[in-house]
């Protein structure tokens, strides 16, 4: 596929300017603010195609969003089209009191001026707004949270500070990944009946001073004014998807909104 960089940049509302590092940081943040994390196709049982033309059509042309394998694949293609040295890397999500899970996440590594940066626009709630420098033990402030990377056996752990203590968030190996790694992870995550993405609706998007998210029928807005939660009626969910995530009603897959509830 011949990547249409102009259309991607229009989608995220950004015109490249400044140094290569400035551009990398700005594209990362603009992507997070413009293209929502969402799993509507998975929840609707439609599965996910990672073919570049399908990803571009869904996330750029149709103004939808996606989850990690989609979001970070698109970002990687865009960075390559802009001349960056970027590659995808399969990753594991850390689970509380369990450790790292299976290889069901994708990140990107970007090499720039002798440094390597971790770029990830597809993690959802704890996603870092700008890339992290691949430097062990360095605390890096991103969007109101502190992160650091730590060396672990055979690879790296990305950690986030919660309550003043760092805990594992993502892990990835030193070795390169192959396309089949992403296809296998995507197939399990989007098709397996026990996948969390098949059990509930999740949408999230970075906003100027916070984040807006939808979990089933609960809309949460976090910004400088605090946190506000709203339990939406079934008929109001499509409108919220358009208002907060830019997903037009005609692009939403068939979903029985009435069965989406959040226990309190």
The answer to whether position 264 is within a domain reads no
The answer to whether position 212 is within a domain reads yes
Confidence of residue 2 (pLDDT cuts 50, 70, 90): confident
The answer to whether position 162 is within a domain reads no
Q: Which residues pair with 173 in a beta bridge?
A: 155
Determine the average pLDDT of the residues in 229-255: 96
- From residue 222, how far is each of 40, 189, 213, 219 by CA, in Å? 22, 27, 9, 10
- From residue 89, how far is each of 157, 170, 171, 195 by CA, in Å? 13, 12, 10, 21
Residue 246: give the domain boundaries. 194-259
Token pair of 136 as six digits = 């062990």
Gyration radius (Cα) of the chain, Å:
18
The answer to whether position 217 is within a domain reads yes
163 versus 58: which is more confidently predicted? Answer: 58
The answer to whether position 157 is within a domain reads no
95 versus 233: which is more confidently predicted? Answer: 233
For the stretch 176-198, pLDDT in tens is 999 999 999 999 999 998 898 99
Token pair of 113 as six digits = 């001026």
For the stretch 111-155, pLDDT in tens is 999 999 999 999 977 899 999 999 999 999 998 899 999 999 999
Total domains present in the chain = 1
Q: In the predicted model, is pLDDT for residue 264 greater than 70?
A: no
Mean of pLDDT over the chain = 94
Token pair of 26 as six digits = 């700005």
Confidence of residue 263 (pLDDT cuts 50, 70, 90): low
The answer to whether position 4 is within a domain reads no
Whole-number Å distance between alpha carbons of 44 and 66? 13
The answer to whether position 171 is within a domain reads no
- Give 258-262 contacts, CB < 8 A, sequence gap 24+: 258/234, 260/200, 260/201, 260/216, 260/217, 260/234, 261/216, 261/217, 262/215, 262/216, 262/217, 262/218, 262/231
Q: Which residues pair with 156 in a beta bridge?
A: 151, 172
Task: In the chain, count H helices and then E strands.
Answer: 7, 14
The answer to whether position 130 is within a domain reads no
Whole-number Å distance between alpha carbons of 80 and 262? 40
Return the beta strands (E) in 70-144 as ranges. 85-95, 99-100, 105-112, 115-119, 132-133, 140-142
């Amino acid at each position: 596929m011949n990547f249409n960089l102009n259309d991607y940049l229009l989608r995220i509302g950004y015109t490249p300017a400044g140094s290569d590092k400035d551009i990398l940081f700005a594209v990362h943040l603009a992507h997070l603010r413009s293209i929502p994390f969402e799993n509507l196709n998975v929840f609707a049982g439609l599965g996910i195609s990672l073919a570049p033309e399908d990803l571009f059509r869904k996330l750029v042309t149709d103004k939808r969003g996606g989850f990690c394998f989609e979001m970070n694949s698109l970002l990687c293609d865009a960075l390559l089209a802009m001349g960056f040295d970027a590659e995808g890397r399969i990753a594991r999500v850390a689970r509380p009191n369990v450790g790292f899970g299976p290889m069901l996440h994708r990140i990107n590594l970007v090499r720039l001026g002798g440094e390597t940066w971790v770029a990830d626009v597809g993690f959802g709630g704890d996603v870092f707004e700008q890339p992290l420098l691949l430097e062990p033990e360095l605390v890096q402030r991103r969007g109101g949270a502190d992160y650091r990377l730590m060396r672990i056996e055979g690879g790296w752990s990305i950690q986030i500070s919660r309550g003043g203590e760092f805990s594992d968030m993502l892990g990835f190996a030193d070795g390169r990944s192959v396309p089949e790694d992403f296809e296998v992870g995507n197939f399990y995550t989007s098709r397996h009946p026990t996948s969390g993405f098949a059990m509930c609706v999740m949408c999230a998007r970075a906003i100027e001073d916070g984040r807006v998210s939808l979990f089933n029928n609960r809309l949460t807005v976090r910004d400088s004014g605090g946190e506000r939660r709203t339990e939406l009626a079934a008929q109001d969910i499509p409108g919220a998807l358009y208002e907060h995530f830019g997903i037009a009603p005609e692009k939403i897959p068939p979903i029985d909104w009435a069965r989406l509830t959040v226990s309190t």
